[in-house]
Amino acid sequence: MILAIDMGNSNIVIGGIDSERIYFEERVTTDRNKTNLEYAIAMKNILEIHGISPSAIEGSIISSVVPPLNNTLITAIKKITGKAPMLVGSGMKTGLNIIMDNPKTTGSDMIVDSVAALREYPAPLIIIDMGTATTMSVIDPAGNYIGGVILPGLRISLDTLSSKTAQLPQISLDTPGKVIGKNTIDCMRSGIMYGTASMIDGIIDRMEEELGRKTTIIATGGLSRFVMPLCRHEIMIDNALLLKGLFILYQKNQKNG
Q: What is the set of domains in the chain, with CATH numbers? A: 2-87 (3.30.420.40), 103-245 (3.30.420.40)
Distances (CA, A) of 83 to 58, 73, 243: 9, 12, 19
First to last CA, the chain: 16
How far out from the chain centre does Cα 131 lie?
A: 6
pLDDT for the residue 254: 87
Closest CA to 49 of 66, 28, 31, 67: 28
109 is catalytic: yes
Could you tell me the sign of the dihedral formed by the alpha carbons of 81, 55, 2, 4, in that order? negative
Q: What is the pTM of this model?
A: 0.89
How far apart (Å, rounded) are the C-alpha atoms in residues 216 and 76?
Answer: 38
Q: Which residues of the chain have pLDDT under 70?
A: 164, 166-169, 171, 256-257
State residue 54 phi and psi, 5-degree precision: -55, -30
State residue 152 phi and psi, 5-degree precision: -60, 135
pLDDT for the residue 174: 77
Half-sphere CA count of 200, side-chain side, radius 13 A: 33
Q: Are 8 and 30 in contact (CB under 8 A)?
A: yes
pLDDT for the residue 154: 83
State residue 120 phi and psi, 5-degree precision: -110, -15
pLDDT for the residue 29: 94
Q: What is the DSSP letter of 239?
A: T
pLDDT for the residue 156: 81
pLDDT for the residue 153: 86
Q: Are 186 and 220 in contact (CB under 8 A)?
A: no
Pairing type for strands 133-139 and 125-130 reads antiparallel
pLDDT for the residue 127: 98
The CA-based angle 28-31-37, given to 5 degrees, is 80
- Neighbour tally for 219: CB within 10 Å: 25
Active-site residue (options: 6, 109, 113, 129):
109
Angle of helix 154-163 relative to helix 184-211, nearest 10 degrees, comes to 140
- The SS3 of residue 70 is helix
pLDDT for the residue 97: 95
How far apart (Å, rounded) are the C-alpha atoms in residues 232 and 220?
Answer: 17
Beta-strand runs (E) in 52-177: 59-64, 86-87, 125-130, 133-139, 145-152
